[in-house]
Amino acid sequence: MMRLKHIGVLLAAVFTFLACDDSTNTLGMGMLPESDEMATDVMTFDVTTQSYLADAVYAKTSTGYIGRFTDPDFGDYTASFLTELNCTDDFKFSTTLPDVYEEYYSGDTLKGKGTLVDENVTGLRLIVYYRSWFGDSLNACRMSAYELNDRWIQERQDENRRYRYTDINTNDYKGTLLGRKAYTAYDATVPDSIRSATDSNGNSTYTPSIVFNLDPAIGQNIYELNKKYEKGENDYFANADKFINNVFKGVYLQTDYGDGTILYVDQVDLQFQFRFHYVDSLGVALKKKVNDDNGQIGDDSIYYGSQTLFASTKEVIQANQFANSNKMKEKSEEPQWTYIKSPAGIFTEATLPYDEIYEALSNDTLNAAKLTFTNYSEKDNYKFSMSAPENVLLLRKQDLKSFFEENKVNDNITSFTATHNGVETNQYTFQNIARLVSTCINEKKAARDKAQKEAGSTWNEEAWNEEWNASNPDWNKVLLIPVAITTQSTGTNSTTTTAVQHDLQPGYARLQGGDPENGGTKLTLEVTYTRFHK
């Protein structure tokens, strides 16, 4: 039977330990009576683990993932995404495209000021920008772009934000086909002079992109609606929501050919093209310089100017879908070990022995609790093998939903992060989760004390303990989750974590653990404690 009356000793001791560093860990020893002796020791406890299949994860991100990749071990997965395009408040073409326009005239050395030739949209382009990718850079692929349909307008109002989860059925929102484009991640047609060009600060001016040439009539319709907005005949450009609901709902991008490449999309732009006159300082249209046989001057010089007017940003919704094959489920059921796999793949679930720790150390001071996950060294057998996730989050299983939906960061009480040590140990090590141990034990004690008070003389501790464990099956379980961590500098050699999100890039690690009765092994929780002797 579990004894709980001394849980306060555990909790207080943890905070005492955390308040001390290596230079103060003997603080107070000289004040103890001579009859008191203190000994610090280490005790180990078994931890059991299993793979946890994550059917979907919460993914609030400004990066879009698109492509298909087949891994010999985990099977294939397909990534696609949808995104809305932002409209600035009170948007007007008349202010965005001013009467005077500066640009070099293509094919000539002439530079001057320009005015619109007419109010016709002569070109419309959807540009998908990406800086990096996973897989084969020369793999032949094809991307399709669709405008979102009316159903999306209803779903985007969902208060539960289900579209933020990676099992979103993006096919439900496919509207009109806007275009298809064949591509390779590395565009060999781009000259080296463009690829290596930099600005005055030495920053690259080239970003890989996939360009869809859309029907200019779509842009013309947007332009005409905006003219009516200027006249007060609609409110469609008052803000982004009005624009999305009434003018352009957004785009859905999917791969429909190719296997072996996943693009990491940074931004999607809708770019308009108009015709402009070059004019001199008096507003007179400049002429082309033509050296024909008669030496006559050419026609009015006209150039085509393009400008991005609507783009995907953090202020509007972007949603990713990841679809995995059944082989992912098969891997999660292997008993000899466990896995962590991203994106939206597999976590490792660990059951921590809180009851056993209390039974053994209820009268002692808990100083530290160290938990280590060791991954097997994998042979690099494939041309594009996945590597172990760089960062992981250790989180109470019952907090999985709220942690990511509420954009929390690790508090080092019930959530911790660790970085993979791939050079020396091939491990993810959590040096001290003592506060997690104390928090969980104290949680059970509070429930137990309340129940005993209510039961009075009918109290049955064994029956209550069984009922508690049945009603709280995740009380003693944590998940090891691949994550992407965002930090911000707070001074010299100092940073603070600003975001912890699911890792959506391909990666995996096979970890020691699993079912001991079927070829697996138990992990070890190493607990450091202090015992006082009279």
Q: Which of 414, 388, 387, 397 is nearest to 348 (CA)?
A: 397
Q: Report which DSSP code applies to 339.
A: E
Locate the DSSP E strands across 33-187.
37-53, 64-71, 75-83, 101-104, 111-116, 123-135, 141-148, 174-183
The pLDDT of residue 16 is 44
Q: What gap in Å lies between CA 410 and CA 432, rounded to an integer?
A: 14
The pLDDT of residue 2 is 41
Average pLDDT per block of 10 residues along the chain, 534 residues long: 41 43 33 60 96 94 94 93 97 76 42 72 97 95 97 90 91 95 95 90 92 97 97 97 98 96 97 82 60 56 85 95 94 97 96 95 90 88 84 98 96 97 92 96 93 93 92 96 93 87 96 96 96 70
The pLDDT of residue 233 is 97
The pLDDT of residue 114 is 66
Burial level of 326, CB count in 10 A (0-12/13-18/19+)? exposed
Q: Which of 504, 346, 394, 379 is nearest to 338 (CA)?
A: 346
Q: What gap in Å lies between CA 270 and CA 86, rounded to an integer?
A: 10
Q: What gap in Å lies between CA 257 and CA 322, rounded to an integer?
A: 16
Dihedral sign for Cα 180, 186, 191, 194, please.
positive
SS3 of residue 470 by DSSP: helix
Q: Which of 523, 530, 503, 496 is nearest to 351 (CA)?
A: 523
- The domain spans of the chain are 7-57+325-533, 64-313
Calculate ∠ Cα 212-215-218, nearest 5°.
110
Q: What gap in Å lies between CA 466 and CA 29, rounded to an integer?
A: 41
pLDDT in tens, 30-76: 334 444 567 889 999 999 999 999 989 999 998 999 999 999 899 99
Q: Report which DSSP code applies to 375.
A: B
Q: How many residues does the chain have?
A: 534
The pLDDT of residue 108 is 41
pLDDT in tens, 98-150: 555 444 444 443 444 567 888 999 999 999 999 999 999 999 999 999 999 99
Consecutive H or E run containing 346: strand 346-351
Q: What gap in Å lies between CA 491 and CA 489, rounded to an integer?
A: 6
Is cis: bond before 33, omega within 30 of 0?
no
State pTM to two decimals: 0.86
